[in-house]
C-alpha cells in the first residue's frame, strides 16, 4: 500500500486533534454499540523497523483504535525489482517477530497473494465489504499527501477510510496542514494529523547498514537483527528504495 499506488494518470476543512476523539475507557455497553476502529500500517517492511512500531503504537493510543494491522504488500507496482531484498516469507517473519508481544498489533496477509501485488483502494473496499461494522484508519507518512492525487483511484481511497498522516522528514507542520486542506477539498477526504516525533529511520538505510555488516541494534527489534544476520539478508548491496 502507500506509494505503490502511483500511476500516471468541497468541503470545509476539518482538522481534528487525535486527543479530541472518544476515550478508550468507555462503558462496556457503549463500546459494544460503537463501530470498531482499526488502523492499517501498510508497506513493504523490508525490513520492519522501530519507526514502524512506534508509529503504530502512537496511532493506537491517540486514535483509540481497537487494533493496528501490519499489512505487508506483495510485489508492489512501483517496486517490482526485488533483487537483493528479503523474500515475501522473510519479510512476513520479521513482522511476526516484531509484533508478537503486542496484543493490539496484528499481522494481515490480505495483500500477500498469487497476483503479487494489489492497490490500496481494492484492499480497503474488500475490508469494508467483509467488516461493514469497522472504520479503517490508513496510516501514512505526511509526505505521501503530496503524491496522493497520483495514487490509483485516490477518490475511492478517501471514500473508504480516514487518512492518518504522520510527520516525516522534518516537514513543517504548517506546510503539512496546508496540504491536508488541499487533499481534503479535492477528495472530500477525512484526514487526521498524528502527534508523533520525527523518526529518521528508513528501511533503505537499514539494508545499507546490513550490507556493510554494521550493527542494527535499536533500529530494529533484536529478534529481527538476529534474523537478518542468521539469514544473511541484504548482504549483496544496499539498493535504493
Residue-wise pLDDT tens digits, 46-85:
999 999 999 999 999 999 999 999 999 986 555 555 678 9
Phi, psi of 6 (to 5 degrees): -65, 130
| The pLDDT value given to residue 54 | 95
| The pLDDT value given to residue 89 | 94
Separation of alpha carbons 87 and 93, rounded Å = 10
Fold of 2-200: Rossmann fold (3.40.50)
Of the listed ranges 14-18, 86-90, 102-106, 122-126, the least confidently predicted one is 14-18
pTM higher than 0.75: yes
Residue-wise pLDDT tens digits, 165-199:
998 767 788 999 999 999 999 999 999 999 888 77
177, 151 Cβ separation under 8 angstroms: no
Q: Domain residues of the chain, as ranges?
A: 2-200
Phi, psi of 35 (to 5 degrees): -75, 150
More confident residue, 141 or 241: 141
- For 17, other C-beta atoms within 10 Å of its C-beta total 11
Please state whether the peptide bond connecting residue 47 to the residue before it is cis, i.e. omega within 30 degrees of 0: yes
And the C-alpha cell for 136? 479503517
232, 205 Cβ separation under 8 angstroms: no
Tell me the pLDDT band of 31, cut-offs 50, 70 and 90.
Answer: low
Amino acid at each position: 500500500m502507500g506509494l505503490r499506488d502511483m500511476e500516471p494518470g468541497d468541503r470545509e476543512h476539518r482538522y481534528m486533534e487525535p486527543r479530541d476523539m472518544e476515550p478508550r475507557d468507555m462503558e462496556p455497553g457503549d463500546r459494544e454499540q460503537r463501530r470498531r476502529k482499526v488502523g492499517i500500517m501498510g508497506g513493504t517492511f523490508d525490513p520492519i523497523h522501530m519507526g514502524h512500531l512506534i508509529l503504530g503504537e502512537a496511532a493506537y493510543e491517540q486514535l483509540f483504535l481497537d487494533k493496528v494491522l501490519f499489512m505487508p504488500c506483495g510485489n508492489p507496482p512501483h517496486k517490482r525489482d526485488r533483487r537483493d531484498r528479503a523474500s515475501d516469507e522473510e519479510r512476513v517473519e520479521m513482522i511476526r517477530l516484531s509484533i508478537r508481544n503486542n496484543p493490539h498489533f496484528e499481522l494481515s496477509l490480505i495483500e500477500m497473494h498469487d497476483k503479487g501485488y494489489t492497490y490500496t483502494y481494492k484492499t480497503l473496499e474488500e475490508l469494508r465489504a467483509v467488516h461493514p461494522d469497522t472504520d479503517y484508519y490508513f496510516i501514512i507518512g505526511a509526505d505521501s499527501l503530496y503524491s496522493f492525487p497520483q495514487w490509483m483511484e485516490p477518490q475511492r481511497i478517501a471514500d473508504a477510510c480516514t487518512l492518518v498522516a504522520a510527520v516525516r522528514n522534518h516537514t513543517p507542520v504548517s506546510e503539512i496542514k496546508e496540504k491536508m486542506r488541499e487533499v481534503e477539498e479535492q477528495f472530500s477526504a477525512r484526514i487526521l494529523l498524528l502527534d508523533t516525533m520525527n523518526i529518521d529511520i528508513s528501511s533503505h538505510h537499514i539494508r545499507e547498514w546490513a550490507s556493510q555488516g554494521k550493527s542494527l541494534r535499536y533500529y530494529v527489534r533484536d529478534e529481527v537483527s538476529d534474523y537478518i544476520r542468521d539469514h544473511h539478508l541484504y548482504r549483496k548491496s544496499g539498493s535504493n528504495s
